C-alpha cells in the first residue's frame, strides 16, 4: 500500500500540518515508519509531545509504527521539545521525535525529527526519509522482531539538572525574585515552575494546566500577551516569562507589565553567559546568532568583552557556527536561546535561568537594565519576490545602498554603525522577507521601503 500524499509543510525542522486536513494518524504512522528504518535504523527512539489535544492520538500512531519496523520506543509524555534531544544523548538512543507544532494554533501538530547526535536531522537525512516515504513500502517486522515500549518519567529531572548546572544558582537565589510564568497550558507548565522554585523564586503560575486548551493564539507576541502583562504588574512580579507550547521559545515582560519581547531574550541571556565565561578566564568568549537578529547582542558583548559571530538564518546554521567557533551561547531573535551545556537547540528553561542570572548580576530591575541598553527598532516585512529575484537584485542594491558592510551568505544584508537591512528568501514559502533595524521605527521602515522599492516588491499582508 502506498503512503498517503504528503501535503504538510516539510523541512529539516519537521513536518507540520492541520490535523484532519494535511496531518493525520496515517501520515504520522507512515513518516514514523520511514524514520525508524532510514534514520534510527531499528534502534531506540525517544518520543515526546507538547500538550495539544491531538498529541496522545498521534503519539500512539508514531509509537506503533516505530515498533512495527523494529525500533524500541521510550515515551516521555508531555515534555518541552529540548527535553527530547537531551534524553537522546542521556540514554544513548538512535534518535527521537517530538510531536509539536511549536507556536502554531491548536489545530496544528507536527513531527520534529532528531538524529542520534541530538540535533535536528539534516538535509541528507530528510532526503533519505522522503525517498523511503515516496516508495511507500515500510519494512514491517515479524511478530518476534517488533520493538519494545516503555515510559520514562525521569526526563524533566535530567533536563532540570543540566540547566541548573550551568548558572550561578546562589546568585539568583539571593535576589529573591517573584516571577510570573505563563506557560500557555503547554509543555513548560511542569518543568518551568520547578526550575524557578529551584532558583529560589516565588512563582506565580499562569495557564499551567496541560489538560486544557491553549487560552489564546499561543505565539508569544506583544498583542497576544497584554493580559499577562497586566497580571505581572498586579501581582508585583519582578519579571514575567511567556513560553510557547513546546517551551523552546521565551518572551519577557518587565515589572511594569511592559512587553520587552523576544529580541531581548537572547541578548540578556548572552550577557549572563559571556560574563560568566569572562569570570572563568575566557579572554574573548563567543556568542553566535543569525544575520536577522538585533544588534543588541553585539552591544552587550562589547561591554563585557565578548564577541559575536553571525550565521545564516536557521537554528541548524546557528548550531553549526557555535560548534565551529566554540561558542558559549547562541540563538536567534525569536526568543530562542541555545546553551551548549544544556542542549544544542532552543530551550526556554535555559533562557529563563540565564536571564535571571543577568538581572541578578546587574543589581537593577529589568526595566532599569533594559534602559541601559542602546535602543533599536526592528521592522519586518514579507514581500512578493522569490529566491531567484533576490539573487538577481544584489547588484542594483549594492549600487543604491552605499557605505555599508555587505554580507551575501543568506540573501543580502547591508550594515552601518547603528542600522542594518536584510533581504532574504523564505525557506518555506515562495516569498521573501525584509528585516531592518535602526535607532527609530521611522528609520527602520524607511530602510525596508528603500530595499522594497529597489527590487520592485510589494508587501504581502
pLDDT number for residue 402: 86
- The position carrying cell 544544542 is 344
Q: What is the DSSP string of 268-294?
A: HHHHHHHHHHHHTT-SS-EEEEETTS-
Which is higher by pLDDT, 396 or 202?
202
Catalytic residue (choose from 11, 13, 100, 102): 102
Pair type for strands 95-99 and 286-290:
unpaired
Answer yes or no: is pLDDT of 426 > 90: no
CB atoms within 10 A of CB 7: 12
- The position carrying cell 511567556 is 242
> Is residue 348 within 8 Å of 188, Cβ to Cβ?
yes
Angstrom distance (rounded) from CA 221 to CA 396: 35
Percent of the chain with pLDDT over 90: 88
| CATH H-level, domain 377-455: superfamily | Alpha-D-phosphohexomutase, C-terminal domain (3.30.310.50)
Candidate from 5-19, 171-185, 270-284, 290-304 with smallest mean pLDDT: 5-19
Among residues 229, 215, 218, 244, which one has the least CA distance to residue 180? 229
CB atoms within 10 A of CB 387: 15
Percent of the chain with pLDDT over 70: 99
Q: For 40-75, write each residue's pLDDT tens digit.
A: 999 999 999 999 999 999 999 999 999 999 999 999
- Equal fold, 158-258 vs 263-371: yes
Which is higher by pLDDT, 219 or 48?
48
- The position carrying cell 536571564 is 355
pLDDT number for residue 273: 95
Helices 155-165 and 83-91, axial angle in degrees (round to 10): 100
Residue 326 gets the label, from left (phi > 0), alpha (psi -120 to 50) or beta, of left
In the CATH scheme, what is the code of domain 158-258? 3.40.120.10
Domain range summary for the chain, segments of one domain joined by +: 9-153, 158-258, 263-371, 377-455
What is the band of 428 on the pLDDT scale with cuts at 50, 70, 90?
A: low
Angstrom distance (rounded) from CA 425 to CA 427: 6
CA angle 149, 152, 157 (to 5 degrees): 165
377: exposed, middle or buried (Cβ count in 10 Å: 0-12, 13-18, 19+): middle
Partner residues linked to 318 by β-bridges? none
> Is residue 383 within 8 Å of 421, Cβ to Cβ?
no
> Is residue 57 within 8 Å of 49, Cβ to Cβ?
no
Q: For 328-368, write each residue's pLDDT tens digit.
A: 999 998 899 999 999 999 999 999 999 999 999 999 999 99
Give the architecture (CATH level 2) of 263-371: 3-Layer(aba) Sandwich (3.40)
Q: For 128-148, write each residue's pLDDT tens digit.
A: 999 999 998 788 999 999 999
> Is residue 259 within 8 Å of 200, Cβ to Cβ?
no
The DSSP call for residue 123 is H
pLDDT, mean over the chain: 95
SS3 (DSSP) at 28: helix
Calculate the alpha carbon distances from 445 to 379, 421, 440 in Å: 6, 10, 9
Active site residue 13: no
Which is higher by pLDDT, 4 or 167?
167
Angstrom distance (rounded) from CA 275 to CA 291: 23
pLDDT number for residue 262: 82
Give the mean model confidence (pLDDT) for residues 300-306.
95
What is the band of 12 on the pLDDT scale with cuts at 50, 70, 90?
A: confident
pLDDT number for residue 355: 96
Q: Which fold has domain 9-153?
A: Alpha-D-Glucose-1,6-Bisphosphate; Chain A, domain 3 (3.40.120)
What is the band of 95 on the pLDDT scale with cuts at 50, 70, 90?
A: very high
pLDDT number for residue 461: 64
pTM of the model as a whole:
0.93
Answer yes or no: is pLDDT of 1 > 60: no
pLDDT number for residue 430: 77
Q: What is the C-alpha end-to-end distance of the chain, expressed in Å?
A: 41
Angstrom distance (rounded) from CA 442 to CA 445: 5
Give the mean model confidence (pLDDT) for residues 373-397.
91
Helices (H) and strands (E) in the chain, counts: 16, 21
Amino acid at each position: 500500500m502506498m503512503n498517503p500524499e504528503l501535503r504538510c509543510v516539510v523541512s529539516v525542522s519537521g513536518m507540520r500540518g492541520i490535523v484532519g486536513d494535511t496531518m493525520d494518524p496515517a501520515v504520522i504512522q507512515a513518516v514514523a515508519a520511514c524514520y525508524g528504518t532510514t534514520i534510527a535504523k531499528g534502534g531506540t527512539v525517544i518520543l515526546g509531545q507538547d500538550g495539544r489535544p491531538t498529541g496522545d492520538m498521534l503519539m500512539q500512531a508514531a509509537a506503533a509504527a516505530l515498533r512495527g519496523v523494529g525500533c524500541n520506543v521510550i515515551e516521555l509524555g508531555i515534555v518541552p521539545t529540548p527535553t527530547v534531544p537531551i534524553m537522546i544523548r542521556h540514554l544513548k538512543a538512535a534518535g527521537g521525535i517530538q510531536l509539536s507544532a511549536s507556536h502554531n494554533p491548536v489545530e496544528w501538530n507536527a513531527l520534529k525529527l532528531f538524529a542520534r547526535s541530538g540535533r535536528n536531522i539534516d538535509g541528507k537525512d530528510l532526503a533519505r526519509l522522503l525517498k523511503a516515504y515516496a516508495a511507500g513500502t515500510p519494512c514491517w517486522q515479524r511478530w518476534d522482531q517488533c520493538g519494545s515500549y516503555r515510559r520514562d518519567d525521569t526526563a524533566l529531572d535530567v533536563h532540570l539538572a543540566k540547566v541548573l548546572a550551568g548558572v550561578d544558582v546562589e546568585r539568583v537565589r539571593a535576589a529573591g525574585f517573584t516571577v510570573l510564568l505563563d506557560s500557555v497550558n503547554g509543555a513548560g507548565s511542569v518543568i518551568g515552575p520547578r526550575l524557578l522554585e529551584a532558583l529560589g523564586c516565588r512563582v506565580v503560575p499562569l495557564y499551567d494546566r496541560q489538560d486544557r486548551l491553549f487560552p489564546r493564539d499561543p505565539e508569544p507576541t506583544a498583542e497576544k500577551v497584554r493580559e499577562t502583562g497586566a497580571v505581572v504588574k498586579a501581582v508585583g512580579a519582578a519579571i514575567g516569562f511567556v513560553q510557547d507550547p513546546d517551551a523552546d521559545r521565551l518572551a519577557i515582560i518587565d515589572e511594569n507589565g511592559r512587553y520587552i519581547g523576544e529580541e531581548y531574550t537572547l541578548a540578556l541571556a548572552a550577557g549572563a553567559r559571556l560574563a560568566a565565561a569572562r569570570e572563568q578566564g575566557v579572554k574573548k568568549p563567543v556568542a553566535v546568532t543569525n544575520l536577522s537578529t538585533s544588534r543588541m547582542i553585539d552591544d552587550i558583548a562589547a561591554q563585557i568583552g565578548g564577541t559575536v559571530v553571525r550565521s545564516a538564518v536557521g537554528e541548524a546554521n546557528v548550531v553549526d557556527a557555535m560548534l565551529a567557533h566554540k561558542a558559549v551561547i547562541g540563538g536567534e531573535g525569536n526568543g530562542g536561546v541555545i546553551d551548549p551545556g544544556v542542549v544544542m537547540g532552543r530551550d526556554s528553561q535555559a533562557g529563563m535561568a540565564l536571564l535571571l542570572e543577568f538581572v541578578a548580576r546587574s543589581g537593577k530591575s529589568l526595566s532599569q537594565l533594559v534602559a541601559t541598553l542602546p535602543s533599536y527598532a526592528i521592522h519586518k516585512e514579507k514581500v512578493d519576490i522569490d529566491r531567484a529575484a533576490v539573487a538577481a537584485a544584489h547588484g542594483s542594491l549594492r549600487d543604491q545602498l552605499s557605505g555599508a558592510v555587505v554580507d551575501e551568505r543568506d540573501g543580502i544584508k547591508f550594515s552601518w554603525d547603528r542600522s542594518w537591512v536584510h533581504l532574504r528568501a523564505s525557506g518555506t514559502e515562495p516569498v521573501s522577507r525584509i528585516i531592518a533595524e535602526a535607532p527609530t521605527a521611522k528609520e527602520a521602515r524607511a530602510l525596508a521601503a528603500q530595499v522594497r522599492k529597489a527590487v520592485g516588491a510589494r508587501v504581502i499582508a
